[in-house]
């Protein structure tokens, strides 16, 4: 079995769509969410993260600008609410800060300081544009 989205900010809908290989599906969220836009992905196994791709192709949504990626190499316990509450703990280690170009399409990021991780937390810090809705078509992690 592959990766799965464990939990995301409450305003996000269709969160599992970011892991599908279908350009017509997407995660959707308010760009100005109460606690920010974020999601936690559980990988099938612990990997050394080497590259991440993010795709944004939706015409009427904001585009990603800055994404903070954190990793956790242990096991996260509890339900989605407990895992969500752990997202600000010091157990999460910085993997990368990704800076996307102001364009739609696939963004490829090589990770220079590779870290081992079983879980990856994506914090969508900044966006281009002033649209109300933010959409992400896909996230892929390579290791």
**pLDDT at 1 (0 to 100):** 55
Q: Which domain holds residue 24?
A: 4-142
**pLDDT at 81 (0 to 100):** 85
Provide the sign of the torsion angle of the four alpha carbons 44, 94, 33, 126, taken in this order. Answer: negative
Q: Which segments of the chain have a pLDDT < 70?
A: 1
**pLDDT at 93 (0 to 100):** 95
**pLDDT at 82 (0 to 100):** 87
Question: What is the number of structural domains in the chain?
Answer: 1
> Alpha-carbon distance 123 to 103, whole Å?
19
**pLDDT at 112 (0 to 100):** 94
The domain that holds 76 is classified in CATH as 2.60.120.260
**pLDDT at 134 (0 to 100):** 93
Q: What is the per-residue pLDDT across 38-71, written as a single tens digit (0 to 9) for each?
A: 999 999 999 999 999 999 999 889 999 999 999 9
pTM listed for this prediction? 0.94
Q: How far is CA 115 from CA 68, 103, 121, in A?
A: 14, 28, 13
């Amino acid at each position: 079995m592959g990766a799965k989205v464990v939990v995301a900010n409450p305003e996000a809908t269709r969160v599992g769509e970011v892991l599908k290989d279908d350009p017509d599906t997407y995660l959707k969220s308010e760009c100005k969410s109460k606690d920010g836009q974020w999601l936690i992905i559980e990988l099938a196994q612990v990997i050394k993260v080497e590259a991440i791709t993010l795709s944004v192709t939706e015409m009427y949504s904001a585009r990603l600008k800055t994404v903070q990626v954190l990793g956790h190499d242990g096991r996260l316990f509890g339900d989605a609410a407990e895992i969500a509450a752990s997202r600000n703990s010091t157990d999460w280690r910085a993997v990368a800060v990704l800076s996307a170009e102001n364009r739609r399409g696939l963004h490829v990021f090589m990770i220079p300081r590779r870290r081992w991780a079983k879980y990856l937390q994506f914090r969508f810090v900044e966006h281009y544009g002033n649209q109300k809705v933010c959409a992400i078509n896909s996230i892929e992690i390579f290791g």
